[in-house]
């Protein structure tokens, strides 16, 4: 799962367009008319990258000198004069930056909303409450929970009315003695859409990775007082502040 994309990076870096559309394009179509430029099959294009609500990324299927045919239909409509930027060189850093975000928050699973089934170690406390910490943030719902004490045991099913959850911890009122258990749980976790602060933080990380090729790995380039992005060897303090709100703390 990628939390940012090349269009977001292009907007953050304030990169100038390679060309603009010469006619309106409706959503659901895959042909762009442009006045000039050279485009090749497989290239990645950022379209309308200054508009957060409609920016998107597309792959070139073909180009005849006037019309760019895309590999898939556009999600949004775009008007005459929409900027287009070829951003193929950025493609590799997007997943890398997303994985860095996961590492910073101590998650081995991604933040996108999906339903998963996991078998995990847990415990029952002195009050007969079962606790199990899942690997995917943030729990949205739980559809099944069962547990065993020893390998080969018949699983004990916990009724949904006896289950609650908070963040990444699932609790079940099972009434068993205090002991360690192995739980199997099916739950939905993650976000849809990905929160804006995660997208922004990952975009900054991706831009930083992409700019390293030009910076010679210097400590800082750019000037924050002038509103220009900074790129540091370490994690920028602004990202560290966002990470605190999403970091996984296992009880």
To the nearest whole number, what is the mean pLDDT of the chain?
91
pLDDT in tens, 49-106: 999 999 999 999 999 999 999 999 999 999 999 999 999 999 999 999 999 999 998 8
Least confident of 84-98, 102-116, 123-137, 158-172: 102-116
Going by their DSSP bridges, the two strands 67-70 and 31-33 should be labelled as: antiparallel
Q: Are 58 and 21 in contact (CB under 8 A)?
A: no
Average pLDDT over residues 106-111: 84
Does the predicted model carry a pTM greater than 0.85? no
Contact between residue 180 and residue 123 where contact means Cβ atoms under 8 Å apart:
yes
Q: Residues 14-27: pLDDT tens digits?
A: 999 999 999 999 99
What CATH number matches the domain at 6-90, 3.90.550, 2.40.30, 1.10.3470, 2.40.360?
2.40.30
Residue 47 CA to residue 57 CA, distance in Å, equals 6
Q: Which of 144, 146, 108 is nearest to 130 (CA)?
A: 146
Q: What is the pLDDT of residue 230?
A: 53
Extents of the domains making up the chain: 6-90, 114-189
Q: Would you place residue 108 in the very low, low, confident or very high pLDDT band (cuts 50, 70, 90)?
A: confident
The string of pLDDT tens digits covering residues 24-41 is 999 999 999 999 888 999
Task: Give all strands of the β-sheet with 19-20 in edge-to-edge order.
Answer: 19-20, 83-86, 44-47, 56-63, 67-70, 31-33
- Closest to 198 in 3D by CA, of 135, 104, 133, 114: 104
Residue 248 has pLDDT above 70, yes or no: yes
The angle formed by the CA atoms of residues 194, 12 and 72, to the nearest 5 degrees, is: 60
């Amino acid at each position: 799962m990628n939390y940012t994309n090349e269009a977001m990076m292009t907007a953050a870096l304030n990169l100038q367009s390679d060309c603009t559309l010469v006619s309106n394009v409706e959503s659901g179509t895959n042909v762009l008319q442009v006045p000039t430029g050279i485009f090749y099959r497989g290239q990645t294009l950022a379209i309308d990258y200054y508009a957060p609500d409609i920016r998107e990324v597309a792959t070139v299927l073909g180009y005849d000198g006037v019309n760019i045919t895309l590999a898939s239909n556009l999600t949004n409509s775009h008007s005459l004069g929409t900027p287009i930027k070829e951003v193929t060189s950025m493609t590799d850093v997007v997943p890398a930056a997303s994985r860095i975000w996961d590492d910073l928050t101590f998650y081995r699973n991604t933040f996108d909303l999906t339903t998963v089934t996991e078998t995990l170690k847990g415990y029952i406390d002195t009050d007969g409450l079962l606790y199990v910490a899942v690997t995917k943030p943030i729990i949205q719902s739980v559809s099944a929970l069962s547990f065993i004490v020893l390998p080969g045991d018949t699983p004990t099913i916990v009724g949904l009315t006896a289950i609650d959850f908070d963040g990444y911890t699932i609790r079940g009122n099972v009434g068993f003695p205090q002991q360690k258990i192995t739980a199997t749980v099916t739950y939905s976790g993650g976000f849809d859409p990905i929160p804006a602060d995660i997208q922004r933080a990952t975009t900054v990380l991706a831009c930083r990775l992409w700019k390293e090729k030009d910076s010679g790995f210097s400590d800082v380039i750019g000037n924050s007082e002038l509103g220009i992005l900074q790129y540091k060897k370490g994690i920028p303090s602004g990202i560290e502040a966002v990470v605190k709100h999403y970091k996984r703390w296992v009880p």
